[in-house]
Amino acid sequence: MKTKILAVVVLALVVAVEAKAKDQMKAQFRPLYEEFGRNSTTKLEIVSGPEDVKMRNGAVAGKRWIATCGKYRFKLTIEESTGVKLDTLVKRIERLPGPYMKACTAVSDEGEDGIAIYASLGGARAHGGKGYINLVPHADALVIAHEVGHTLEQVARQADPTILDQWLAAIMADKISISDYGDHAHSEDVAEFAQLYAVCLGAGSEYVATLKKLSPARFTLWEKMLGVFFREARAEPPREKEIAIELSGGLKMEFVRIPAGEFMMGSHESPEAVVKALGLPEIFVEYLKNEHPQHRVRITKPFYLGKYEVTQEQWKAIMDTDASFHKGAKYPVESVSWNDCQAFIKKLNERIDKSGVEFSLPTEAQWEYACRAKTSTRFSFGDDKALLGEYAWYGRNSGKKTQPVGQKKPNAWGLYDIHGNVHEWCADWHDSGYYKQSPPSDPAGPRQGVARVLRGGSFYDDLPDYFRCSDRYHDHPGFRYYRYGIRVAGNLAP
Ligand SMILES: [Ca+2]
């Protein structure tokens, strides 16, 4: 009798503890759900489309696009009768963490719709599985995160048929409930965990660490299915103000650390005022409108930027070739297209042990922010065009030739030739109206375009206009020109 009472008490206690743990999970994370994806840095690029297609379910008429996100490439398909805009779907997907794009790719094989919006799914808001993530028009980013769980679980099950048994064992080991569907609906539990993991990842590393502590077995298994591994938040190692990487045989490339911060991007002067102040032809007024409206931009993370333009010897050390028109080892490499620069950066990332730094072209916002170096004037050295020759090689002092890098005065952050010498390719597509819709944090340019941005003016240009911090230039990414060169950015890994 006594034993029985004790057993009941113990059981009640276990149930109470478990209920408490479940409440704790909800209390811990629920407020984050509403914020989901608000700070996401995931960025899709539309590489082709729309194409008219018959969709997989019922052969209904749809439009299809191909999107990329880093290494992932996938389809987006929208049933025409829904009237849902591509941008709406893209923005929802961009709320998800980058690794979740693995599921987008997994549903984009031949004959599949990729991430698809259907007018109706027989009363369900979404279906996710091997080969499909189907959504109704109002299904939001949280719904997609849940369906990613279903898809990746089924992908994992193909490679390892015991994966759901392992998940059940993980539920038992964790002694904590997540899913409102109940612990025995294993695949729903995976999907709910996938959603919670995404929410925590978006909210910050401290939340991911808490999730890992509360549900360690599921956490490990989900990361295995996702193919990523969360690193515990560590104290940020002190970053050097300047770093140098070795390219080969003692040849180095130097970088300056650019702090995180805010600035006003674009011109503070009207096009008419610039034309008047710099004595430009009237025709420039129309062109200069692309620097408006001036708007506040936050650069949320520190990054590195090349102290100098990439020189010919540096380019040659990585690419083995050099097509520059004005030759010289310490001269900036030129006659490189935007596409050539991507190949250079790819090799740089592959070859250089960079301790947490990922090389790229700077975004247009990073470039202007670094060029301004906290100044808000026409040039980084003030408004006076008469001083341009002290800081820049331009049409009136260069002899219409490039010059060895680093001979003129640097800007306040120690960047040489940021005005003049060679025009510098930036990562972004160019859109003259982009500033009207630029996001406030870390803008990365339009999703698509025909030309890429160039900044800073070149040795060939006579008019001081081209050397203003806010001046925007652009050209086709495949075009090689002796006025165009490259300066490399180094972004810190998250
Ligand atoms: Ca330059």
Supply the pLDDT for residue 13.
40
* Å from CA of 355 to ligand 1 middle: 27
Residue 438: name the closest of 305, 287, 298, 338 by CA: 298
* 414 and 314 part of one domain: yes
Co-location of 157 and 121 in the same domain: yes
Helix H or strand E segment including 69:
strand 61-69
The answer to whether position 2 is within a domain reads no
Ligand 1 centroid to 459 CA: how many Å?
Answer: 8
Sign of CA dihedral 39, 45, 50, 53: negative
Is residue 127 one of the residues assigned to a domain? yes
Residue 459 lies in a domain: yes
- Mean pLDDT for the chain? 90
Give me ligand 1 centre to Cα 165, in Å. Answer: 59
- What pLDDT band is residue 231 in, cutting at 50, 70 and 90? low
Show which of 235, 258, 290 is a domain's final residue: 235
- Return d(Cα 349, Cα 363) in angstroms, integer: 17
Please give the distance, rounded to the nearest whole angstrom, from the Cα atom of residue 455 to the centre of ligand 1.
Answer: 7
Say yes or no: 230 and 288 in one domain.
Answer: no
% of the chain with per-residue pLDDT over 90: 73
Average pLDDT over residues 98-109: 94
Beta strands in 380-458 (DSSP E): 423-429, 452-455
Range of the domain at 366: 242-492
- The predicted structure's pLDDT at residue 431: 96
Q: Residue 419: inside a domain, yes or no?
A: yes
Q: How far is the CA of 161 from the centre of ligand 1 (A)?
A: 57
Whether residue 251 lies inside any domain: the answer is yes
Clarify whether residues 260 and 224 are in a common domain.
no
pLDDT at 180 over 80: no
Q: Are strands 72-79 and 115-117 parallel, antiparallel or unpaired?
A: parallel
Residue 312 pLDDT greater than 60, yes or no: yes
- Cα(39) to ligand 1 centroid in Å equals 32
Identify which of 399, 397, 400, 372 has the alpha carbon closest to the alpha carbon of residue 456: 372
Residue 17 has pLDDT above 80, yes or no: no
Q: Give me ligand 1 centre to Cα 74, in Å.
A: 36
Q: Which of the four pLDDT bands, split at 50, 70 and 90, describes residue 488?
A: very high
- Is residue 129 domain-shared with residue 254, that is, in the same domain? no
490 Cα: distance to centroid of ligand 1 (angstroms): 17
More confident residue, 227 or 6: 227
Query: Does 120 share its domain with 171?
Result: yes
Is 295's pLDDT higher than 70? yes
Last residue of a domain, one of 200, 215, 235: 235
Using the predicted structure, report yes or no on whether residue 42 has a pLDDT greater than 70. Answer: yes
Rg (CA), the chain: 27
CATH number (domain holding residue 480): 3.90.1580.10
Phi then psi dihedrals of residue 419, to 5 deg: -100, 125
Q: What is the pLDDT of residue 291?
A: 97
pLDDT value of position 21:
56
Distance of CA 324 from the midpoint of ligand 1 (Å): 15
Q: Hey, what amino acid is at 352? A: I
* Ligand 1: centre distance to CA 473 (Å): 12
Q: Where are the beta strands (DSSP E) in 93-171?
A: 115-117, 126-129, 132-135
Give residue 458 CA to ligand 1 midpoint distance, Å. 6
Q: DSSP label at 474?
A: E
Report which of 63, 95, 88, 91 is spatially closest to residue 76, judged by C-alpha positions. 63
As a whole-number percent, the residues of the chain with pLDDT over 70 amount to 90
End-to-end CA distance of the chain: 59
pLDDT band at 23 (very low <50, low <70, confident <90, very high): low
Count of domains forming the chain: 2
- The confidence score (pLDDT) of residue 20 equals 52
Residue 415 CA to ligand 1 centre (angstroms) = 10
pLDDT in the model for residue 353 = 74
The answer to whether residue 6 is domain-embedded is: no
Paired strand residues for 424: 455, 485
* 305 Cα to the center of ligand 1, angstroms: 13
Residues 218, 260 share a domain: no
d(CA 85, CA 110): 24
User: For residue 432, how far is its CA from the centre of ligand 1 (angstroms)?
Assistant: 21
Q: What distance in angstroms lies between residue 421's CA and the mean position of ligand 1's atoms?
A: 5
pLDDT at 444: 95
> Is residue 324 situated within a structural domain?
yes
The residue count for the chain: 494
367 C-alpha vs ligand 1 centroid, how far in Å? 11
Residues 420 and 295 in one domain: yes
Q: In the beta sheet, which residues pair with residue 76?
A: 65, 115
End-of-domain residue from the set 235, 263, 281: 235
447: pLDDT strictly greater than 90: yes
Instruction: Kindly give the distance from the C-alpha atom of residue 113 to the centroid of ligand 1, in angstroms, as a whole number.
Output: 45
Instruction: Give the number of C-alpha atoms closer than 13 A to the C-alpha of residue 49, restricted to the C-beta side.
Output: 21
**Domain identity same for 149 and 283:** no
**54 and 72 belong to one structural domain:** yes
Centre of ligand 1 to C-alpha 148, Å, is 44
Ion ligand 1, residue ranges at CB < 5 A: 417, 421, 456
pLDDT at 356: 78
In this prediction, residue 79 carries a pLDDT of 98
Q: Does residue 199 sit in the same domain as residue 268?
A: no
Nearest Cα neighbor of 152 from 202, 197, 109, 107 is 107
- Tell me: pLDDT of 2 over 50: no
* Pair 266, 146 in one domain: no
Half-sphere exposure of 226 (CA within 13 A, CB side): 25
Query: Pairing between strand 423-429 and 484-485?
Result: parallel
Q: From ligand 1's centre to the CA of 454, what distance in Å?
A: 10
Q: Express each pLDDT in 270-286 by its tens digit.
A: 999 999 988 888 999 99
Cα 342 to ligand 1 centroid, rounded to whole Å: 18
Residue 28 predicted with pLDDT over 90? no
* Sign, CA torsion 78/80/81/84: positive
If you average pLDDT over residues 187-209, what whole number do you get?
Answer: 89
Report the distance separating Cα 239 and Cα 307, nearest Å. 16
Residue 224 placed within a domain: yes
pLDDT, position 241: 81
Task: State yes or no: pLDDT of 240 exceeds 60.
Answer: yes
Looking at residue 32, its pLDDT comes to 87
pLDDT at 414 over 70: yes
